[in-house]
Amino acid sequence: MSATTNPDPEQGAPAFIPLEANPELMTKLIHKLGVSQALQLHDVYSLTDPDMLAFIPRPALALLLVFPITAVYESHRMAEDNTVDEYKGAGEQEPVIWWKQTIRNACGMMGLLHAVSNGPARTLIEQGTTLDELLQKSTPLPPRERASLLEKTPAVAAAHKEAASAGDTAAPDAQDNVDLHYVCFVKGSDGALWELDGRRKGPIRRGELQENEDMLSERALGMGILRFLEREGGDLRFSAVALAGSLD
């Protein structure tokens, strides 16, 4: 099948235990991979209530949406993907770094990788760590080769397995069919809002942001998650997690 009609990893591909949308576990995972202790993941309990949003440190550098894959979503994804070619970008000139997902049930890890490897968060990856080395090796490569490199980085798989096995709920098997999926929204080096999803054909530029607008700003939410949820017809089975912390 083509990438358009079947974007998921093929049978026999490496598999991860699905990652629970648990900010505490996610924070431990990114720290283990090499992200500074200054950054943490936070539950977003409301996307529209200013009082609830006030609990999250700013700026919010990335926003992860966890949602069920529905027929409505798949129809929109396929229609949008049919209008573009497979992304082949590589190198430091890219406004965002994006990995194709070739590991089964790894969308949580892909979301976290996209969150911490783009925008200002990238400057808070400590030198010599697993993530630092992965980024140095991945950046010059096109997406498919990046994906192959990720498959062959055992430190990432080990850290993911430790986090995924420690959730509040019983972890499903790595080969299970799981209908929950992660999408990441970040601000690229070009100042635009980008949607990053390893199941898609490439990174998706959603619109321009002002210099002072982060991922929880009204404009970013309107072009990103809120528009995304509007397409789903008000389906409330989703959760959101923000990457935030001190940039000093």
Cβ contact 118:28 at 8 Å: no
pLDDT, position 173: 42
Instruction: Report how far residue 87's alpha carbon sits from residue 204's, in angstroms, rounded to the nearest whole number.
Output: 10
Q: Each residue of 93-112: b (16+ CB within 10 Å) or e?
A: ebbbbbbbbbbbbbbbbbbb
Record the tokens describing residue 94, joined without a space: 């890219």
Cα Rg, the chain, nearest whole Å: 17
pLDDT, position 3: 29
pLDDT, position 181: 87
Closest CA to 144 of 106, 98, 175: 98
pLDDT, position 176: 44
18-45, pLDDT tens digit by residue?
A: 888 899 999 999 999 999 999 999 999 9
The low-confidence residues of the chain, meaning pLDDT below 50, are 1-6, 170-177
Instruction: Report how far residue 101's alpha carbon sits from residue 106's, in angstroms, rounded to the nearest whole number.
Output: 7
Domains and CATH numbers, the chain: 23-245 (3.40.532.10)
Instruction: Report how far residue 28's alpha carbon sits from residue 176's, in angstroms, rounded to the nearest whole number.
Output: 24
Is the bond into 68 cis (omega within 30 degrees of 0)? no
Cβ contact 200:100 at 8 Å: no
Active site residues: 107, 181
Terminal CA-CA length for the chain: 48
